[in-house]
Chains A and B, each alone.
Chain A
């Protein structure tokens, strides 16, 4: 393993660990918005992790998947926010 791949995998592991830490906020809440913001943060981390894995394994096609994931992450956040507000808090 070269220095580059080691660094990339180390960063991947770090981001995965951070996501696991953030899961505490998803479980704990207390409000639904707290959970959404935490899920959004985990989503952003996931995008980064996908991109990092792609770089470490030298597979550029993975970047497309990261892009789609980023898109879905955004869609999730605005969808939950909108529908909770418009329906007075009920999903």
Chain B
């Protein structure tokens, strides 16, 4: 039996985001007529959490935003509430916590408790197993939010051809001789052996598709040009960061922005993402196929990002000169798709 009315005690914890998602999903799936999730914070002034009431309110507010996020279209069907309980009482043992939770649960007619696996309002004391027992004795059904999440994975091993095998072997052999720094018979033999081993193990992992040597050489050539450009950008970026960090007033205006980059496939996207991370006040937080979520430190950094110099350079490396002329994100109208954060 699954109940559609849940009581979720919350505290500052690393698994909180996940617990909220689990509780919301649980209610939605139960298809209960009067689904409800109550997030409660057992608060006691004596607790040594270093948190005052404003911190608690902020936490509950955050939880509510997450719950709305997860509910999406079902927002109307489920009643989400937050409350601070136990204020003014002295909460110490798991029994105390169970008592205030049980009292609240009975008042609000909730039958199931979802526990955060990292729930620990009193700091470091291991509270969970005894709390679970106490709550079950009080007549609640107790669920612990699972920590594993469903995962979608990319393919590890891809198709390959002989060219790929030889290329990996050659790369490995060359690298072996480079770090060995000698051309003695011993090094040549062991180097060849490791080339074969490395290629056997990794030949279908290293490349995303069949290798075309001509195109690869061109890319490597353009890559070396790009490296100089990148190093220059990195130095400029760091001087800017140094100015910002050492400035007495810390003139930063951080903000998350999202934009769709005009690069395709794995390696170019990664090159662009890592270049973004290394250059002016920008940090790639997430990439979903072409959509980049970037955290930017200053308004100037955002400007540079949208004017698309790096993106153009990466396109030049991987697709040649013609592709470099694709318009910049600003010209494509990508600018302004700010995500959350402050208004500019």
Contact = CB atoms under 8 A, between A and B. Distances in A.
Interface of A: 31-32, 84, 86-90
Interface residues of B, number: 16
Interface centre among A86, A87, A88 (most CB of B within 10 A): A88
B14 A86 contact: no
A88 B145 CA distance: 9
Interface string B2-15: 00000000000111
Contacts of B13: 89
Contacts of B308: none
Contact of A86 (B19, B118, B151): B151
A89 B118 contact: yes
B151 A88 contact: no
A-B complex: 3 closest residue pairs judged by Cβ atoms: A88-B18, A89-B15, A89-B14
B58 interface: no
Contacts of B146: 88
23 contacts: A31-B14, A32-B14, A84-B14, A86-B148, A87-B147, A87-B148, A87-B149, A88-B15, A88-B17, A88-B19, A88-B117, A88-B145, A88-B147, A89-B13, A89-B14, A89-B15, A89-B16, A89-B17, A89-B118, A89-B147, A90-B14, A90-B15, A90-B147
Contact of B149 (A31, A32, A86): A86
Interface in B217-265: none
Nearest to B12: A30
Interface in B1-47: 13-19, 22
A17 B14 CA distance: 31
Contacts of A84: 14
Contacts of B149: 86-88
A30 B148 CA distance: 24
Interface in B141-162: 145-149, 151
Contacts of A89: 13-18, 118, 147
Nearest to B13: A89
Contacts of B147: 87-90
Contacts of B118: 89-90
Contacts of A88: 15, 17-19, 22, 117, 145-149
Contacts of B16: 89
A21 B147 CA distance: 34
A32 B19 CA distance: 17
